[in-house]
Chain A
């Protein structure tokens, strides 16, 4: 109990970051489930969403900026898939992964160009940037609201995948790409839908994340991106609940480590966790085992 009260701010921050990670991790896990691709550019899409918000709010009011950010991010995710991944659908897996790395490089350099390398101050979103005090710990409203938004969105997503026709198609494609194609599923539509959903959630995640961190730089997306991928692997790549649980675990552990004073290792910890899970249970917490046929 003493541990809890002493570390309450870190645990709260952890849950909040966990929720933000969860929103990003879903993008990774869904794309991997369908294309078997680590979408290295996803973290940068998340960063671009942050920058777009910065620039839009200088022109438009907040109530208009938020939906515009969502739309622009979705378009960006869709465009990346069409331009950089679709032409390589029959190429070896390594090429498509390299293409993803290339897109990541491009997005970062574009961001560098537009921002001139300066950190951009993230706008205050009314209400969610407000400070509140609970249990003696002062925190922003966003910390409290993040897990709620994350959980609600994830539940909606799970229902969407379970109940709708396109959701069913997604599940089919992730099980067997070729057969689904032969059965008349429009692969490209399904893949686009996956990228759209992933980008939408990343955009929401970016609003919550940057409200907490207050500034955006071109490399802001790289580290969270990698961590979210680790979260997805941790939970068992391809599994949405797995990614969410993984994200929360990583978010909380990372902040507790900061609490202990080992800030240098908060990033390294994530990767250590990844390596341990890959060695002990390569399929992650909820992943399915696949065997090669000889």
Chain B
């Protein structure tokens, strides 16, 4: 390859890695901040600003970056720049699609899925270490929410038991601080863990292109740009995901929020300590579900949770399909030009998804709106009168109970 094309290719990979970093921050704001926003411990804008700052700090906090990508999941020898680019494209597209649908899903699983798909397209089934994929990615995706639900439900049950006869105002005032503290930890851990993934990818690309020596540390501009990209993504906030996590699963109050975030922080840090990496997203979602399970009288919208679990199961195959398609596109066009075509297609698809999101915008102004506006008695009555249909008033047993409650 000509040197000019090669350095341009390097530029494309770096830009795509930063774009992935951006979607990562964007997508994962909710993991740390959704509960604080939902319980109004922090205003939406304050919350994303705090989270962005902590992500920024977190990215500088620890620099044990390894220039590896999907270690133990794909054969390291087949990972070329083209594979990395296609894998990143798969991760970005899946992050944007799930964001559009308001579904929290793991950014690292999306990236791994994209790389696995690209490797399958590039080297066939023997390029993928299937045992590694099952034991490091697929099974942890099932285990993480179960562990988090258990921890958070026990925590919530104990907390609400000990504070059941404390006035709600006092509870809200004090637990607010606990909630902000634990949510901050989740943000910090996210910045440290996830910004390093992008740094590792860029370092890998730089080494592969011969721009830096093989044993090089991470250049400062890489650290800075990754930290900034992630912080910017976090600040812009994936409001759709925040809304689902904060309002869609459980109606949260500050005691539950505090128990959920502490459970998230503890499980995330412990899982990396014991070398059994669990996805931040899966843990955070499980913790929020657990805070609903552990709270007497709270109801969990399991239908929303079910859609999420489904999204987690198909994350790797779907991102893989995109990754494989991106690799195929690059290979068909061929060479340096192929990579530019992939990059252009990525921009076009991202733009289309962004355009679709404008039809039903979710932002800091409406992130806390009621999840499903309950039909009040008057409107049900009015509807049955207008339609001359008495049966409309007999919605269901559940509906009847709700009406009785509402009339009290």
Chain B associates with chain A: no
Using a CB–CB distance below 8 Å, which chain A residues touch chain B?
none
